[in-house]
């Protein structure tokens, strides 16, 4: 292949990458708002219907459960047909989920709520998969930056979502003659529909199709097993997945119970929504900088920094009374920042480390591990708070945050020892 041809192809890829990022961002903004609007009201609505905090937390936790259950099916669609059909399928399922949750608010039949939030969780799974779509066409040195920019795009929608869902959306419910908490789910359904139509219309050409990353569905089970072995036999894979899992467990566990914690402190729903929005700023707003930092100091160092933020944020939350919304925010903001550091750096490691026909399934397995752990954390957080309290939940979450730090330090000494051994061997041979 001539240099001129390579340069022309590189320019074409660069143009396609820009268009792909713009389209993905246009879809992620309304989808992000739809997800957090639905999520912010879930625990409160569940408690109102049942009178039980644990069941309220269970409903909210179904968001991450739905994302976990959707990762491999969405990966299957993407492997066979491309990123666009998979993302659109996720958003379309989320529309149905939001309608079910709205039905729960209107009928006060609880079962519709967790089922609906499961559907919304599938939309969250589509959003997670989209970050790898952002990296498909990016050159190696720009993958972290592309992922960081796309995660940042979720900021606008995700920050607006809780304030929208627990603010103006309630009035929409009143206007339509429905219960207040039906409003967030009406808005969520409309936003997911907009996101689905945007991706379906404008994500062309499909980035995964362009790089030749689609294949047949034959031998799927073997591919999944192979992808699992490839992911967890790799030190980089284990570090990346471990960091993503810990960040998601801490973030979901603490955030799930925060609305009820603040409600116990006498705060209005608008304040609850505002605090969650500020927390989400920590999760998304700085992700482009995280991407740049990853390129400068390395993904492993960024992962360790993320763990530090998780520890400090959780401990701040654990020492805050329900009446102190500012204290809770400071802790949640740092937890969100730690989550962002871990997600962007770990995703970049996975995107760079693995290639070939199993790539999409490896990415799906990584997200499955993360979201499944988050789902369990959401379920367990309600039980922990019921048995102990919010402060205890936050404290033990902080202990979990030590894992990425310890693992990176361990990797550092192992690599240092290998370099030292190699140097000694080289000197011996020279002698």
3-state secondary structure 116-170: HHHHHHHHHHHHHHHHHHHHHCCCHHHHHHHHHHHHHHHHHHHHHHHHHHCCHHH
Q: What are phi and psi of 34, to 5 degrees?
A: -65, -45
CB 190 within 8 A of CB 59: no
Q: Give me the helices (H) in 268-298, please.
A: 269-284, 287-297
CB 342 within 8 A of CB 246: yes
Tokens 């995703």 sit on residue: 347
More confidently predicted of 270 and 258: 258
Write down the pLDDT at residue 91: 98
Write down the pLDDT at residue 168: 67
Tokens encoding 137: 């066409």
- pLDDT level of residue 216 (50, 70, 90 thresholds): very low
Give the range among 43-52, 130-139, 166-175, 283-292 with minimum mean pLDDT.
166-175
CA atoms within 13 A on the CB side of 333: 12
Burial code (b: 16+ CB inside 10 Å, e: under 16) for 233-265 equals ebebbebbbbbbbbbbbbbbbbbbbbbbbbbeb
Mean pLDDT, rounded, for 293-311: 94
6-10, 41-45, 139-143, 289-293 — which one is most confidently predicted on average?
289-293
**Angle ∠(308,354,209) on CA atoms, nearest 5:** 120
Tokens encoding 32: 């992000």
| Mean pLDDT score of the chain | 85
Does the pLDDT at position 367 exceed 80? yes
Does the pLDDT at position 213 exceed 70? yes
Mean pLDDT, rounded, for 356-383: 86
Mean pLDDT, rounded, for 190-207: 95
The CA distance from 39 to 49, in Å, is 16
Does the pLDDT at position 313 exceed 50? yes
- pLDDT level of residue 188 (50, 70, 90 thresholds): very high
Q: SS3 of 2, please?
A: coil
Mean pLDDT, rounded, for 216-239: 75
Mean pLDDT, rounded, for 44-51: 92
Does the pLDDT at position 345 exceed 70? yes
User: For residue 6, what are the contacts with CB-CB under 8 A and spacing of at least 6?
Assistant: none
User: What is the percent of the chain with per-residue pLDDT over 70, rounded to a whole number?
Assistant: 85
Write down the pLDDT at residue 113: 97
CA 131 to chain centre: 9
Q: Please report the domains of the chain, with CATH numbers, ordered by start residue.
A: 3-203+226-430 (1.20.1250.20)
pLDDT digits 0-9 by tens, 106-122? 999 999 999 999 999 99
Write down the pLDDT at residue 341: 96
- pLDDT level of residue 169 (50, 70, 90 thresholds): low
User: What is the percent of the chain with per-residue pLDDT over 90, rounded to a whole number?
Assistant: 45
Mean pLDDT, rounded, for 78-100: 96
Does the pLDDT at position 430 exceed 70? no
The CA distance from 210 to 203, in Å, is 12
Write down the pLDDT at residue 100: 97
Write down the pLDDT at residue 422: 64
Does the pLDDT at position 219 exceed 60? no
- pLDDT level of residue 262 (50, 70, 90 thresholds): confident
The CA distance from 259 to 59, in Å, is 13
Tokens encoding 226: 């192979």
Mean pLDDT, rounded, for 13-31: 90
- pLDDT level of residue 41 (50, 70, 90 thresholds): confident
pTM for the whole structure: 0.79
Strands (E), 46-101: none
pLDDT digits 0-9 by tens, 125-167? 999 899 899 888 888 878 888 899 888 877 777 667 666 655 6
Tokens 């700023």 sit on residue: 281
Q: How long a stretch of residues is the chain? A: 431
Q: SS3 of 52, please?
A: coil
Write down the pLDDT at residue 414: 79
């Amino acid at each position: 292949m001539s240099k001129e041809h390579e340069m022309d192809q590189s320019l074409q890829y660069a143009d396609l990458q820009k268009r792909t990022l713009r389209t993905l961002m246009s879809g992620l903004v309304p989808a992000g708002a739809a997800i957090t609007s639905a999520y912010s009201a879930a625990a409160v609505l569940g408690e109102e219907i049942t009178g039980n905090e644990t069941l309220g937390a269970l409903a909210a936790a179904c968001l991450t459960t739905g994302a976990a259950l959707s990762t491999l099916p969405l990966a299957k669609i993407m492997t066979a047909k491309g990123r666009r059909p998979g993302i659109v399928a996720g958003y379309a399922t989320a529309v149905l989920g939001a309608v079910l949750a709205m039905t729960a608010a209107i009928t006060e039949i609880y079962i519709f709520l967790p089922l609906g939030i499961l559907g919304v969780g599938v939309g969250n799974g589509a959003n997670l998969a989209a970050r790898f779509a952002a990296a498909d066409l990016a050159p190696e040195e720009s993958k972290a930056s592309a992922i960081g920019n796309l995660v940042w795009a979720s900021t606008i929608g995700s920050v607006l979502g809780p304030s929208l869902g627990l603010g103006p959306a309630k009035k929409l419910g009143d206007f339509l003659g429905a219960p207040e908490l039906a409003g967030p789910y009406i808005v969520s359904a409309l936003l997911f529909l907009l996101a689905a139509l945007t991706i379906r219309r404008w994500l062309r050409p499909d980035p995964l199709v362009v790089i030749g990353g689609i294949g047949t569905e034959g031998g799927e089970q073997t591919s999944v097993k192979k992808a699992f072995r490839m992911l967890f036999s790799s030190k980089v894979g284990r570090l990346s997945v471990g960091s993503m899992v810990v960040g998601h467990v801490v973030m979901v566990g603490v955030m799930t119970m925060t609305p009820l914690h603040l409600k116990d402190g006498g705060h209005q729903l608008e304040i609850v929504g505002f605090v969650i929005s500020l927390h989400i700023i920590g999760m998304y707003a700085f992700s482009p900088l995280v991407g740049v930092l990853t390129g400068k100091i390395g993904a492993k160092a960024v992962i360790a920094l993320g763990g530090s933020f998780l520890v400090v944020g959780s401990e701040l939350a654990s020492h805050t009374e329900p009446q102190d919304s500012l204290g809770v925010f400071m802790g949640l903001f740092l937890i969100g920042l730690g989550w962002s550091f871990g997600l962007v750096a770990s995703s970049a490691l996975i995107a760079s480390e693995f290639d070939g026909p199993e790539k999409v399934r490896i990415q799906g397995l990584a997200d499955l591990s993360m979201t499944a752990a988050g789902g369990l954390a959401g379920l367990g957080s309600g039980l922990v708070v019921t048995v102990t309290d919010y402060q205890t939940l936050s404290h033990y979450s902080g202990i979990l945050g030590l894992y990425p730090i310890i693992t990176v330090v361990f990797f550092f000494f192992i690599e240092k020892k290998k370099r030292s051994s190699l140097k000694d061997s080289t000197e011996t041979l020279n002698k």
